[in-house]
Amino acid sequence: MSHPQPVTPADIDAARTAFHADRANIVAKNAVSSVGIRAAARVPEGVAANPLTFDIEVKQGKRCDQERSGRCWMFASLNTMRYRIIQTYHLETFELSQAYPLFWDKLEKSNWFLESILDTLDEPLDGRLVSYLLADPVGDGGQWDMFKSLVKKYGVVPKEAMPETACSRNTRELDSYLTRYLRGAAKRLRESAAAGVDAEDLAALKRTMVGEVYRLLVTCLGEPPATFDVRLRDKEHALVLSGTFTPREFFDRAVGMRLDDYVSLISAPTADKPFGHVYTVSRLGNVVEDGGVRYLNLPLERLKQVAIAQLRDNAPVWFGCDVGQSYLRDEGMMDTAALDVDALFGFAVEGCMDRAARLAYGESLMTHAMVLEGVNLDADGRPTLWKVENSWGADHGRDGFDTLSDAWFDEYVYQVVVDKKYLTDEERAAFEAEEPRVLAPWDPMGSLACAR
C-alpha cells in the first residue's frame, strides 16, 4: 500500500449520522442484537412457501444421523443405495453402515496423501502445493467419485455388521491424531529422501506407515468385517434375504447398482470452465489405483432436467451445495425468499455478487451433500420446490427433511449425480471420451462435502 487512507474521525461521524438518520437502522439494530441476523431477516411469507408435499416424490426409510462427523457425502451416497434395498425387498426401513466406508476412506486417504508426499519431494516445504497437502490430509469430506471408488473396492455392509463407535459419531479426535501422525510421516519421508534414501526403501517405509494407520483406525473404529450374516424381513415379516456375504457380494446382491453408470455433473459458470467439457482436480481422490474425480460442466438447467428425469423414474439424486447460505437450519428451509438480509442492513450483502463471482472470489463452494427425493412443478413443468433428505437426524428440519426453493438451487447447488442414460448423446460422449482439463487442487470445484 503506497498511499493508504486511514479511517478518520470525520468518516466515523458521517457514518454515525447516516445510521441514526434512518429509523429502519435503529429497528434492525434492536432486532439483530436481540435474536441474531437470520432470525431478524426471516420472512414469514417466504417460509410459508415451503410445504412438504410434492408432485414427484420417492419414499425413503427412517432418517439417518451423521452426528458430529463430516460424513455427509457418505450418508448421501448410502441413502441412495439403501433406497434400492428398501424398494427391492419391501422393507419398512434399512440402514447401511457408515462406519465401514469411514474406515476405508481414512486408510485410502492416508495412502493417497503419503503417495502425494513422495511425488512432491522436490517441491519446497513452504510452497503452495505442499502447504496445501499438509493442511488437511485426511479430513472427513469427500465427493461422489471417491465414494464410488470405495464401494467398488470394499463393498458395503449393513449397519449392524459394523456399528458406530465413539470415534465415528464424533470424528474430531480421530482426525486430529491421524492428521498429526501423517504430518510426522511426511516429515520422515522428506527427510529420508533428503538424506539419500532410495525410492525402493522410501516405498517400504510408506507401507509401514500405512500399516500403522490401519492399527490406529482399528483401535478407533473396530475392524471391518470380512464376512457377515444377513437376515432381512419385509413389511409383513417374511424372510426375504438371508445368508453369509462378503461386503462386495452384499453390494452386488442387495444394492445391484451399476456404479460406473452414475456420473457427476457440475455447474460452474466461471470463465475458466466452459460448459460442455470434462474436468478433474489435481491431487483430489482417495483410492490411488482408481484415479481422481471426473466432472462434466453443464448449464444449471441441465442439472435440473436430469435430476427431475431420475426422480420421475423413482430414483433419488445425490447432490452437492453450499448449505450454509440463505438457510433457516432449524426449520430446514433453503430459500432465498425466506431471508432478506439485504433489506435488514439496507444495502447489498448477500446480493453483492452473482453465482460466478462467489465462486471466483472465495465466497461459495460445495460444503454439503444430501439427496433430492421430490420436486414440485409449475404448469409449464418447471421446478419450483425440491424435497431434500438430510443426514442430521429426524429431529432436524421436518422429520429430517429440508426443502430447497428453485431460486436457491439457482444460486447454491453445484453438483448432481445421475445415471448417464439421462444425458444427451453429445453429453455422454464428452463425459466418456474427452480428456479432462485439470483444475488446481484449491479450485472451488475441488471442495469436499463435509458439513456437520
CA distance 184 to 90: 50
> Is residue 237 annotated as a catalytic residue, yes or no?
no
**Distance (Å, whole) CA 264 – CA 198:** 39
Q: Is position 314 annotated as part of the catalytic site? A: no
What is the rounded distance in angstroms from the CA atom of residue 220 to the CA atom of residue 243? 29
Which one of 50, 79, 297, 390 is the catalytic residue? Answer: 390
Q: Pull the grid cell for residue 228.
A: 457377515
Q: Which amino acid appears at position 96 of this protein?
A: L
Q: What is the rounded CA–CA span in Å between residue 296 and residue 378?
A: 28
- From the candidates 50, 64, 72, 396, which is the catalytic residue? 72
CA distance 448 to 368: 8
Give the per-residue SS3 of the chain: CCCCCCCCHHHHHHHHHHHHCCHHHHHHHHHHHHHCHHHHHECHHHHHCCCCCCCEECCCCCCCECCECCCHHHHHHHHHHHHHHHHHHCCCCCCECCHHHHHHHHHHHHHHHHHHHHHCCCCCCCCHHHHHHHHCCCCCCECHHHHHHHHHHHCCCEHHHCCCCHHHHECHHHHHHHHHHHHHHHHHHHHHHHCCCCHHHHHHHHHHHHHHHHHHHHHHHCCCCCCEEEEEECCCCCEEEEEEECHHHHHHHHHCCCHHHEEEEECCCCCCCCCCCEEEECCCCCCHHHCCCCEEECCHHHHHHHHHHHHHCCCCEEEEECCCCCEECCCCEECCCCECHHHHHCCCCHHHCCHHHHHHCCCCCCCEEEEEEEEEECCCCCEEEEEEECCECCCCCECCEEEEEHHHHHHHEEEEEEEHHHCCHHHHHHHHHCCCEEECCCCHHHCCECCC
Catalytic residue among 50, 111, 321, 368, which? 368
111 in catalytic set? no
Q: Quick check: 263 and 417 in contact, CB under 8 A?
A: yes
Judge contact between 128 and 220, C-beta under 8 A: no
Active-site residues, by number, are: 72, 368, 390
